[in-house]
Amino acid sequence: MTTPTRTREPLFERPGVRPVTPRDYLRDMNLSSLSNAIVALIFSASGPVAVILTVGQGGGLTASQLASWLFGIFVVAGIITVVATVIYRRPLAFAWTIPGTVLLGPVLASGRYTWAEVVGTFYATGILILILSLTGMVRKVMDLIPMPIVMAMVAGVFLKFGTDLVQSVRTDAVLAGGMVLVFLLLTRITRLGKYLPPVIGALLVGAAIIAATGKFDQQSIQLDSFFARPEFTVPQWSLPAMIELVIPMTITVLVVQNGQGTAILRKGEFEPPVNTAAMLSGLGTLAAATVGAHPSCLTGATNAILISSGRKERQYTAAITLGFFMLAFGILAPTFTQLMLAAPQTYLLALGGMAMLPSLLSAFTTSFRGKYVWGALLTFVVTVSGVSFFGISSAFWGLVVGYLCSRIMEPADYHHHHHKVDAE
């Protein structure tokens, strides 16, 4: 009797579908995809960009270095997003690691390392991510963690978007309150929401209120150039900087950010190519590092916005559209950034919060309606706490604590899970 041989899974996942053609894209493009892509761009170009500008200015970077940084993250993310989505014919939006940005803040502010030494760690991080993707270990590790625990981590990360929405209404009831009212009406009256998606309606009403009340800060706009001028930074290699930054940044990319993106897409019934996403993150990180930009990743929040509405088989068009928008934003980074930051902060917070509400609801329902509830609860609590150790964010520690405690407290839930993983 012969023993059946187990078919080895390919290192990089096969698409299983034909690539998207220009005719496919034009045929499937619709208002829902366009609005989701616009909101996703606004989300990416507001709060996350503000964090980068704050970190860079605190580290003494020049205006040209900051512009180059923004150019790198947006252009690289746009290219990878379009290429991956076209090949796999499903939404695969890439961006940059926001926890990694936060991680850089105290390092740059301390002055312990030069900018060239920090850029050297970007290269090293990209190489390490590539090596890990080539071993195939990324997919195996991510498949071991149950979905409710991963989604509890996502819920903990996304919760701030919901609380920021509430705070924005408290801060500016006219602007944020008017946006929320329109959002609720368009959500309730589905016939109207079909033609004018709730988030895009809130965006337009908010812009009208800003114009009517004169809350756009034109004096804050000071442009030296409309177009970004990328700067090549020659890396320097510092062992202490490598020890302090490379491992934490790799974890934020592969476990925290790519983990969020994978969980969000699986919840939307899309199977993301985990190993391929890791490889593209590594290549994107190396490409971005050439112009002084930090690591790339498969994004969670942005993908959640892209798949928040519209027909599933057409949602890939939102990702491709976002990729084109990102390329344009990268080229015009100084112009768009200052325009966005000249709008009231409550506008950006309210818009981001409303865009994330459906995904937040989905994350909660997935986490707490079945098995692994103790693991999900502890993951959520640790993630929301905001604690960090060794420069690694609470989202990672939430996964670690939740998974370990779940194995101790809910051993019966893992019997079926292991059979599923072994079968794969």
* Sequence-separated (6 or more) residues with CB below 8 Å from residue 419: none
Is the CB of residue 308 less than 8 Å from the CB of residue 159?
no
Structure tokens that stand for 61 in this block: 């970077």
Q: What confidence score (pLDDT) does residue 80 get?
A: 96
Three-class secondary structure of residue 108 per DSSP: helix
Stated length of the chain:
424
- Give the distance, in angstroms, between the CA of residue 244 and the centroid of all CA atoms in the same chain: 23
From first to last of its 424 residues, the chain has per-residue pLDDT tens of 444 444 556 777 888 899 999 999 999 999 889 989 988 888 787 667 777 877 887 888 887 888 889 999 999 999 999 999 999 999 999 999 887 887 788 788 888 889 999 999 999 999 999 998 888 777 776 667 787 887 888 788 778 878 888 888 888 888 888 888 988 888 888 777 766 778 778 888 888 888 888 777 666 666 666 777 888 889 999 888 888 788 878 877 887 788 889 888 988 889 889 899 999 999 999 999 999 999 999 988 889 889 988 889 999 999 999 999 999 999 987 777 667 667 787 887 787 778 777 778 877 888 888 888 888 999 899 988 888 777 666 777 888 888 899 888 888 877 765 544 433 3
Q: Give CA–CA dist 103/121, Å, rounded.
A: 12
Q: Which residues contact 161 (CB under 8 A, 6 or more apart)?
A: 301, 352, 353, 355, 356, 357, 360
The answer to whether 168 and 349 have CB atoms below 8 angstroms apart is yes
Helix H segments across 172-238? Answer: 175-188, 190-195, 198-213
> Where would I find the H helices in 60-146?
63-88, 98-110, 115-135, 137-144
- Give the separation between CA 66 and CA 93, rounded to whole angstroms: 23
**DSSP character at residue 117:** H
Place of tokens 């114009």: 211
* Cα dihedral: 221, 226, 227, 231 (round 10): -50
Angle between helices 373-385 and 147-171 (to 10 degrees): 40
